Structure formats: structure tokens, C-alpha cells
Chain A
Amino acid sequence: MKRLLKLLPAVAATDAMAAQSSVGTTSMTSLALFVAVIAVTLCITWWAAKKTTSASDFYSAGGQISGFQNGLAITGDALSAGAFLGLTALVFGNGFDGLVYAVGYTTGLPLVVFLMASKLRKLGKYTFTDVVCSKLSGSAVRVFSALASLIIVSFYLIAQMVGAGQLVQLLFGIDYTYAIMLVGVLMVMYVVFGGMMATTWVQIVKAVLMLSMGTLICFLVMAQFGFSFSELLQQAVAVHPAQEAILIPNALAKDPISGISLGMALMLGTAGLPHVLMRFFTVPDAKAARSSVLWATVFMNSFYAMIFIIGFGALTLLRGHPEYFDARNALIGGGNTAALHLSHLLGGEVLFGAVSAIAFATILAVVAGLTLSGASAISHDIYGALFKRHVVSDSQEEMKIVRLATVVLGVLAVILGIAFRGQNVAYMISLAFSVACSSTFPVLVLAIYWKRTTSFGAVFGGSVGLLSSLLFTVLGPAIWVKVLGHAQPVFPIDPPALVTVPLAFAACVIGSLATQRTKRLPVGAVA
């Protein structure tokens, strides 16, 4: 997972780029489309702000988003720039090994709809913590769920901000610090003024653009090979140094245990991400919640299938054009720019500018969703439910708190984004996935399905999963070896999901069985 997630942090500095490449030079087309993206998203925010008058509007767009719209918004929320640029880069460098990630990412959403989507909508209100607290009583479980959400969102947000700064600098020539501040200001504006409505429509616009662009690039790639995928693969084998080895997975065989653990994290991580789960509260009913996952699955799985063509298209076509490579025979701007170079090769400045602008829109959509999710955990779960128990929903006071929380979170994200400049922060997204599938996911599943789950069991098991996933990631190859410089990892499985997910479930069950007298709330009651 970390190799894929290295995309954004790994993009190289602009001064490393040659003059012939569009990457790193500021084209007027790119700048015009960049400004257009900002203008369109601010217009959406202005329109959404007029509709956002209550806490319900702010947190869940008043529950009035249709299943189809929410499906697009989930697509926009979940498909980060890494899914497009990072996967293409992996396939460009390693062939089918990159596609293993694409396949893995498609397995999460079906589990969400089979096990969770309609239950989330029926039992929750604004955040996934509401769902857990509809079954389990006590402040501890709410605090745990809110803190787990914040930890997951924070890791994800910092990684996205660092990547955003580097990508915007790379694509549009804006200084890293200003790029981070620009992204920070825009994401705070979307959320503060437009709440969930603005965030939803920014995500919808981004998803439509990304899917359209992916389809166009696929068409242009296939046209180069007479619309024969076999021909594409044959030519890929002919130009890649590894030849036929690029057609099969190789990396997983070298460390099968970590490979299986990676598969588990890819599958279950999605089902524990707070900013994705939050989207199920924006639709009117359980039926629409299920429909949203149906549409999201169709859109996202189609996009991941497109990566088969886009990735191998980049692998094959770019190798025939030395102008995209530097003196060391590496892609100008780093391997993660493969999709950008491919778009330039296929459609010149116009397509390159469009893809760059879509990458920027992608960043904005993802960070807006993360910020809203984090701010909601602070205002609704921690402040609203714990410190102001008497606050009624839709109160103006809660609106003020969530807006303040958004600004604070935005400022923190900018500061941390600047502080982590130049750092390899890929492990933070790995941490987010590990924590999600080892803490929020087990707690949510057991709270919904196992009626003997108790508050103590949920907090105990969730905490064990959270802390063990943090600890094992620190002791693993990603941090212990690559960041801290030790020769061997203390804990070799990377990511640690294969151990931490069963551990969290077991701790939940043991903790619950040990405290059976703790009372569960009646079904449907929202704490």
C-alpha cells in the first residue's frame, strides 16, 4: 500500500524538470483550467451557503442528496489523486503489481453495502459515532469513536496536504507554502460556508470530471493499438525491461504474509473511514443509502478497471518517447507523473492542462471531505454530545462550534502540511487505513450485529486495535527501517492488519463477555 501512497509525497521538485516537458512548466491552458476549477467550486460554495441554515444542513445536507448524487460524491470522496496518478505510476514501473492495488480497492464498497450502508442510515444521524452510540451507552464509547475518527482523518489529511502542496507546485509552479495555504483556504471556505452541501457538489463535479477524463484517455490509448487489448499487452512486453514478468503479480510472492495483510487492509479499510461513512447520512432513507453504494461501486470499479488500460498505455507509449525522460532514463518529474505525461502525449497541452486541473479538483474534493468529517467529530461528537448535552440539534450554537472547529482544523492542517514538507508521509495514509480497519470497523460491525457487545468491550477492543496498529506500524518496515534507519523491522508484517484486525475483534468480544451487565440502548435510540 505504501508504494502506491507514496505518489503525492514523492513528486519531484520542479527544478528537476527538463524544458521539453509540460510537467513543471506553467502552461496557460493549465493555469486557465486551474482558475476555472477554483471559480466553479467557489460558485458551488456560494450557492450551497444559501441553503445551509441548520446543523442538519451543515452535517448532512439536510438528508436531501439522492442516491445517484451520493454515489458520485462517494466516488469523488474515495478516489484520491493517488488512485489515478499513483496507480498509473505503479503500473508504469512494475506492470501488473500495480493492478493488484486497483483490484483490492474495489473490494471494500461491496462489503459496506452488504453489512452497513442501510444500517448506518437507519441508526445514525450525522457521524458514524451516532451509529455506535445508538447501540451502546456511555460517554466513553462516544469519546473513543470521535477520537478514532480524528486520528484517522488527521493522518489522512496531513498526507493529502503535503501531497497537495507538492502537486500544485509541480503542476502550476506555485511555491509550496503558498500552494498549501491556497488549498487550506479553499477547503475551509467550502466547509465553513457550504458545509456538506458544498462538499458534496465539489465531490460530484470532481467525480464526473475524473470519470470523463479517464474514459477519454482509455479511448485514446486503445485507438493507438487498434482497440485490441492483446496488442497493447504484447507491445508492453516488448518495451519493458522485465518483459513477460510485467503481466503477472511478482511482489506479493516475495512476502506473502504482508501481501495477504495488504489485501485485508485494502478490503476493510474503506469500511472504517469516517469521511466515507459520513456520506450515508446525506441521503433521505436506507433505500437511497443502498442505491448510493450501487452507483459508487459502478463508478469506482469502472475507474479502477480503466487503470488496466491507462497504466499499461503509459508503460507502453511513454517508453517510445525519450523527451519524457531525463538523463538518468527516469520519467521527468518522477514516476508519479506518468499519467500526466501520457495525457500530454495523447492530447497535447489541452489534455495535459485538463488532467492537471482535475488532479487539483481531486485534492480539493478529498481534503474538503476529510475536514468536514474531522470538524463534525469535534463539534457533534465531542463538544455537542459531551460538553453541551442539552444542545438540541439544528442549534445555531452547534453551527458556530463546527465552523470554528473547521477553521482550527484547517489552520492546523496548513501548519502541519508546511512542517512535514519534504518528509515521506506515505506511512500516514497507511496508518489511517490500518487504524480504520482495526478500530472503527470492528467496533461498528460488532455494535450493529452482535447484541452482546458492551460499551466497555467496544472501547477496549477498539483501543487495542488502534494502539496495536499504531505500534506495529511504527515498529514495521515503513517507519522503523525507512524512517528511523534501523536495519531490520521489529514487526515484519506491513501493513499489520492481518494481526491487528483479529486482535481488535477478539478484544471487543472478550471485553464484552467480561462486562455483560452493561446495558445496551434500545434499537433506534440515538445517544
Chain B
Amino acid sequence: MGHPATTDTAEPLGTSLLLTSVQVVFFLSFLLTACFASKTMQFVVPGLGWPLSFVFGLAVIACGTFLTIMYVVRANASEG
């Protein structure tokens, strides 16, 4: 009996799991920092003048967007 996770060349399971892990770890880092070290979020990022909380939050949003674009472009190109 075949299984899509192993037979679908356009979407290798390893890539899916890797990108999922990156997204989860990045969000979890934001969340754990907010839960256990929120004061560190006050640090003002040089050059931007914004607190780390805003930069980190926007980075999580940007990370999800970037990973999604990368994954879809690659998977759709593989499918032809």
C-alpha cells in the first residue's frame, strides 16, 4: 500500500517537516521570550529605534510568509 508522504515527489516529507519545525521553533522562541523573559523585549534595536518585541513579532510574521512563498514556489515548480 503506497503512501502520499513517500510517493509525492513535489512535496518531500522532509522539506515539509523541516519548514514546519522552523516555523514552530521561531514562534515558540517569541512565545517563550514573552512568557519568561519579557523584559529583554525592551531592548531597542540599533538602527531601527524599535523595541525588540516589535522586531521579533514582525520577524515571526515575515518568517511565516517567507517560508510559505519558498515552499509553494519550489513545490509548484517541481510539479511542472
The chain B residue with its CB closest to the CB of A254 is: B35
Q: B51, A248: Cβ atoms under 8 Å?
A: yes
Q: Does A290 contact B (CB under 8 A)?
A: yes
Which of chain A's residues have a CB closer than 8 A to the CB of B23? 107, 110-111, 114
Tell me how far the C-beta of A476 lies from the nearest C-beta in chain B, rounded to whole angstroms.
18
Tell me how far the C-beta of B68 lies from the nearest C-beta in chain A, rounded to whole angstroms.
4
Which of chain B's residues have a CB closer than 8 A to the CB of A301? 61-62, 64-65
Q: B31, A263: Cβ atoms under 8 Å?
A: yes
User: Which positions 214-243 of chain A face chain B at CB distance < 8 Å?
Assistant: 229-230, 233
- Decide yes or no: A250 and B49 within 8 Å by CB, A260-B31, A523-B4 being known contacts: no
Which of chain A's residues have a CB closer than 8 A to the CB of B24? 107, 111, 267
- Decide yes or no: A290 and B76 within 8 Å by CB, A103-B57, A110-B64, A114-B23 being known contacts: yes
Contact of B35 among A102, A256, A290 (CB under 8 A): A256
Q: Does A513 contact B (CB under 8 A)?
A: no
Contact of B72 among A113, A230, A449 (CB under 8 A): A113
Which of chain A's residues have a CB closer than 8 A to the CB of B49? 230
Which of chain A's residues have a CB closer than 8 A to the CB of B57? 96, 99-100, 102-103, 308
Q: A106, B64: Cβ atoms under 8 Å?
A: yes
Instruction: Give 1 or 0 for each of A287-305: 1 = CB within 8 Å of chain B CB.
Output: 1001101100110010011
Instruction: Give 1 or 0 for each of A67-97: 1 = CB within 8 Å of chain B CB.
Output: 0000000000000000000000000000010
- Decide yes or no: A290 and B38 within 8 Å by CB, A96-B54, A451-B3 being known contacts: no
Q: Main secondary structure on chain A at its contact with chain B?
A: helix
Tell me how far the C-beta of B25 lies from the nearest C-beta in chain A, rounded to whole angstroms.
11
Q: A114, B16: Cβ atoms under 8 Å?
A: yes
Which of chain B's residues have a CB closer than 8 A to the CB of A252? 31, 34-35, 38
Q: Does A422 contact B (CB under 8 A)?
A: no
Q: B75, A118: Cβ atoms under 8 Å?
A: yes
Q: For the complex, what is the distance from the CA of A520 to the CA of B68, rounded to whole Å? A: 31
- Decide yes or no: A260 and B32 within 8 Å by CB, A106-B60, A267-B24, A293-B72 being known contacts: yes
11 A-B contact pairs sorted by A residue (CB < 8 Å): A106-B60, A106-B61, A106-B64, A106-B65, A107-B23, A111-B24, A114-B67, A118-B8, A248-B42, A290-B76, A448-B5
What 9 A-B pairs are tightest by C-beta distance, nearest first? A256-B35, A249-B34, A230-B49, A248-B41, A294-B72, A263-B31, A110-B64, A297-B68, A290-B72
Task: Please give the residue numbers on chain B whose beta carbons come within 8 Å of chain A beta carbons, in ascending order.
Answer: 1-5, 7-8, 10-11, 13, 16-17, 19-20, 23-24, 27-28, 30-32, 34-36, 38-39, 41-42, 48-51, 53-54, 57-58, 60-62, 64-65, 67-69, 71-73, 75-76, 79
Taking A230-B50, A448-B4, A449-B5 as known contacts, 12 extra A-B pairs with beta carbons closer than 8 A to each other, sorted by chain A number, are A100-B57, A103-B30, A103-B60, A244-B42, A256-B36, A263-B31, A290-B71, A291-B72, A291-B76, A297-B65, A298-B69, A308-B58
